[in-house]
Amino acid sequence: MPMDRRTRRDAKNRPKAAVLAGLMMGTLAMSGCGPAQADNTLTWYINPDAGGQAAIAQKCSDESGGSYRIETSLLPSDAASQREQLARRLAAGDSSLDIMSLDPPFIPELAEPGFLAPVPEDVQQSTTENVVEGALAGATWKDELVTVPFWANTQILWYRKSVAEAAGLDMSKPVTWEQIMEAAKSQEKTLGVQGASAESMTVWVNALIESAGGSIIVDPEATADTIELGLDSDAGTAAAEVISTIGKEGLGGPGLPTQDENASLIGFQGDSGSFMVNYPFVWPATSGAVEAGTVDKKVLDDIGWGIFPRMTEDQESAPPLGGINLGVGAESSNPELAYEAIQCIVSVENQAEYFVTNGNPPSNTEAYEDPRIEESFPMAETIRDSLQVAAPRPQTPFYNEVSTGIQQTWAPPAAVDPESTPGSSSDFITSVLRGEQLL
Amino acid sequence: MTSAIPAKTTTASSSDPGPRLDAGNGKTNGRTRRAPQQYSDRVRAERRLGWMLAGPAFVIMLLVTLYPILQAIYESLFRFRLTAPDEREFIGLGNYGVILSDPVWWSDLGTTVLITVITVAVELVLGFALALVMHKALKSVRGLLRTAILVPYGIITVVSAFAWFYAFDISSGYVNNWFGWLPGIDENLNWFAQGPTALFVIMASEIWKTTPFISLLLLAGLAQVPDELSEAAKVDGATWWEQMRKVIIPNMKAAIMVAVLFRALDAFRIFDNVFIMTNGAYNTEVLSLLAYRQSISRLEIGLGSAVSVLLFLCVLLICFVAIKLFKVDLAGTQGEK
């Protein structure tokens, strides 16, 4: 069939059009924009894990019957970098932030300027039943639920049964910091604590102060100019005494000033291990190491667990609280669908599954009744009990400043002085918040 | 940075033996003199072509570098936190006042200058030695030698920083075991727990990583020293050291200065090594990390911009001092004098 003029012209222009299309696609690819996605696709910004969140995303997408599809997008590995990326994207009005895995201490900072979409009433009701107190506190800002609790984390006391026995400690009852320090000293072993100038230091300081009945921030809702810190108090001094003693007497070993959770675990698994405060990942990590042949089976059999040590015998401890909550970006184009998906993600069944496969404990107490949990985590009951009494880190929009200020003034542990550190740390953080000093 | 490597083919006199001797239209006792009005038509045409080829890139570079600089200067006049967009407030030079009156700025500046001075000095000596080895190496092994020496420079800084960190780390490192026989090193030495030892590792990794760069620049300088000069000196009975001191080094002064300037600027902006190894803990913080902490970690755009602007001014000052006081001749190594 002969071509008419128009077809001929089209045929002639085709290479040009192809080049143009290619250029446009190239430009789009370079600018990070792709073709518009289907309306029911949700992006879930997840923190790195062992694939559990991606599996839940797939499962919920399948179960939704096509009403939404969740795609996961990986955030950086540490909480501070996750916050940095999310805050920048939220401030820029990125509409791809449909669902976000958020570390609780950073939630007020994102909720305060209205970066998070409000949680609908029905979702609030359906996702908060049977949820542990601490996780709820972490999901709330100014008495309003701004995120949905997903999983909760806490530190418990891990110990080597042989060392505790040799030191004559009765581990069936709660122990105090004084007792474990004495025990480690008498047995010439090292304590597993996190003395690095990092986020883990804030976690430790906060837990010690809360356990002594104090708080790092008196009124978390105060503005930067009026904020009042509770560091320079009896509780702050008591916390400094514990940290200083461990540092000065070498109870944390030579690695203490740079020791984070992973380094503590390695030390605890070694010959000098005695007592350690750390997250539940310790158990799957040690079991895995035994299977891989890098740690002796005897070490695993020798490990016991209990609630975080007390500051005084008669006062219950307030263990560290962590975990992940789910938030929806205010600029998300699909907030309703996002909350529908979140309800699926945080279901009791998924939380239990996530614990068993990834080692991240549920925030919903009902999930602990899953029989698989007891099998994989014999200390699940201790974890649940710990979550019930755990205290969150300061919930303030200025958490990053407070935390970095603590990291810079409470490390290395050997340099902590109970007389002066709480006061100087408090002055430093206050002047940083008032914009008078660099951090 | 590659612009410092001689690019003979781009010059009008590319067929001549070397830039020191070829430049300009005449030479007097090895020295050159400028006479732009005497350029031939061909040279002028080639210069025009050069501008036409490089012009667009120059304009784009100006746009992409000038815009962020101006933006940073503007932002630095505000108290502005990214997560409190409604509280933006104009405070003039207030941020600069806070920074310059804070001992943290001065201590970070001190650390940065210390790292810059020590690394550049050590690299210059090591780099020169390596350049001499490469220059004199047998033809058959020359290629292999140059490749081998360049390997560290080819490694991404973050990767090399991690490698050095894990080597020296007290729980995973092997350095304490291997070098336990040296005084001061034992298995309990925590390199990253105090400033001096942490800075030692940071500087060592920096030196290991960028000495090849300096040696490459110096090799280019060495290659430009005409053999006749050193041969003449040898005939006159000069020792090896005298040849170095009186013939070779003076004749490659421009290459040395360019190497020092480039490395000094690079070292002054050090970030990756410190970020990975200590994250600024225990008095190891440098200025770029301070800027990062204010603008990226704290999201204090105003204060962070002010730190960045001050950092930029420091870099400008280094350039100014190097070019004016030490008379660095950037064109000299390009054969374009």
Rounded to the nearest integer, the mean pLDDT of chain A is 89
Residues A48 and A30: their CA atoms lie apart, in Å, by 25
Under 8 Å between Cβ of A283 and A359: yes
Q: What is the pLDDT of residue B85?
A: 87
DSSP state of B56: H
Distance CA B46, CA A30 (A): 35
Residue B324 has a CB neighbour count (10 Å cut-off) of: 9
Would you call A258 and B190 a contact, using CB atoms and an 8 Å cutoff? yes
CA separation for the pair A56, A226 (Å, rounded): 43
Which pTM value belongs to this model?
A: 0.84
Has residue B333 got a pLDDT over 50?
no
Name the pLDDT band for A240 (thresholds 50, 70, 90).
Answer: very high
Mutate to test the interface with B, among A248, A407, A438 (most CBs of B within 10 A): A438
Q: Which residues, including other chains, have CB under 8 Å from residue A13's CB and lie 6 or more apart?
A: none
For B120, the token pair is 């550049």
Query: Rounded distance, CA A173 to CA B187, Å?
Result: 37
Pairing relation of β-strands A41-46 and A69-74? parallel
> Cα B128 vs. chain centroid, distance in angstroms?
15
Predicted local distance difference test score (pLDDT) of residue B21: 36
State residue B143's pLDDT score.
80
Return residues 61-80 of B near A (CB < 8 Å).
79
Do the Cβ atoms of B141 and B289 come closer than 8 Å? no
DSSP B87: G
A223: pLDDT confidence band, cut at 50, 70 and 90?
Answer: confident
Q: What is the pLDDT of residue B2?
A: 37
Which residue, among A402, A399, A389, has the nearest Cα to A137 in the 3D structure? A389
The answer to whether residues B259 and B217 touch, using CB atoms and an 8 Å cutoff, is: yes
- Block residue for tokens 């830039």: B19
Each residue of A75-99: pLDDT tens digit? Answer: 998 888 999 999 999 999 999 999 9
From chain B, the residues in CB contact with A266 under 8 A are 171
pLDDT, position B171: 85
Q: What is the mean pLDDT of residues A132-151?
A: 91
Give the pLDDT confidence score for residue A202 in this predicted structure. Answer: 96
Mean pLDDT is lowest, of A35-44, A223-232, B105-114, for A35-44
- Residues of A with CB below 8 A from B165's CB? none
Q: What is the pLDDT of residue B329?
A: 62
**Chain A residues with CB inside 8 Å of B298's CB?**
400-401, 404, 439
Nearest Cα to Cα of residue A407 among A105, A215, A197: A197
Amino acid at B143: G
Instruction: Report CB contact under 8 Å: B83, A110.
Output: yes
Residue range B22-32: average pLDDT?
A: 42
**Which of B306, B304, B315 is closest to B268 using CA atoms?**
B315
pLDDT recorded at residue A405: 95
The pLDDT, as a whole number, for residue B13 is 39
- Read off the pLDDT of residues B203-252 as tens digits, 9 standing for 90 and up: 999 999 999 989 989 998 998 888 888 889 889 988 888 988 888 988 88
- Bigger pLDDT: B11 vs B287: B287
- pLDDT-above-90 percentage for chain A: 79
For residues A99 and A346, give the distance between their C-alpha atoms in angstroms, rounded to a whole number. 12
Query: Is residue B335's pLDDT more than 60?
Result: no
pLDDT of res. B79: 93
Between the ranges A31-40, A221-230, B53-62, where is the mean pLDDT highest?
Answer: B53-62
Enumerate the residues of chain A whose CB falls inside 8 A of the CB of residue B104.
437-438
Within 8 A by CB and 6+ apart from A249, the residues are: A181, A185
Q: Over 60: is that where the pLDDT of A325 sits?
A: yes
Q: Would you say residue B8 has pLDDT above 80?
A: no
Contact call for residues A82 and A76 (beta carbons, < 8 A):
yes
Q: Give yes or no for residue B61 having a pLDDT over 70.
A: yes
**Residue B270 reports pLDDT greater than 70:** yes
Q: Residue B45 is encoded by which pair of tokens? A: 């045409």
pLDDT of B323 > 90? The answer is: no
B11-20, B37-46, B101-110, B176-185: which has the minimum mean pLDDT?
B11-20
Kindly state the helix (H) or strand (E) to which residue A362 belongs, with its residue range.
Answer: none
Q: Is the pLDDT of residue A204 over 90?
A: yes
| A332, A97 Cβ separation under 8 angstroms | yes
Residues in chain A: 439
Count of Cβ atoms closer than 10 Å to residue A63 Cβ: 11
Q: For chain A, say whether B299 makes contact (Cβ under 8 Å).
A: yes
| Enclosing H/E stretch for A44 | strand A41-46
β-pair partners for A278: A156
Cβ-based interface (< 8 Å): residues of A facing B: 80, 84, 87-88, 91, 109-110, 112-113, 115, 196-198, 254-259, 263, 266-267, 397, 400-401, 404, 407-408, 411-412, 435-439
pLDDT band at B135 (very low <50, low <70, confident <90, very high): confident
Look up residue A151 and give its DSSP letter.
E
Strand arrangement of the beta sheet that strand A156-160 belongs to: A190-192, A273-278, A156-160, A303-306
Q: Which helix (H) or strand (E) holds A113?
A: none
- State residue B331's pLDDT score: 58
How confident is residue B134, by pLDDT bands cut at 50, 70 and 90?
Answer: confident
CB atoms within 10 A of CB A251: 21
Residue of B86, B170, B297 with shortest CB distance to A255? B170
pLDDT tens for B271-310 read 999 999 999 999 999 999 999 999 999 999 999 999 999 9
Q: Which residue has the tokens 């997250």?
A: A279
Q: Which helix (H) or strand (E) holds A71?
A: strand A69-74
CA A125 to CA A99: how far, in whole Å? Answer: 19
Average pLDDT over residues B87-107: 94
In the numeric block, which tokens belong to residue A134? 């601490």
The tokens of B96 are what?
Answer: 């600069």
Residue A36 burial by Cβ neighbours in a 10 Å radius (0-12, 13-18, 19+): exposed
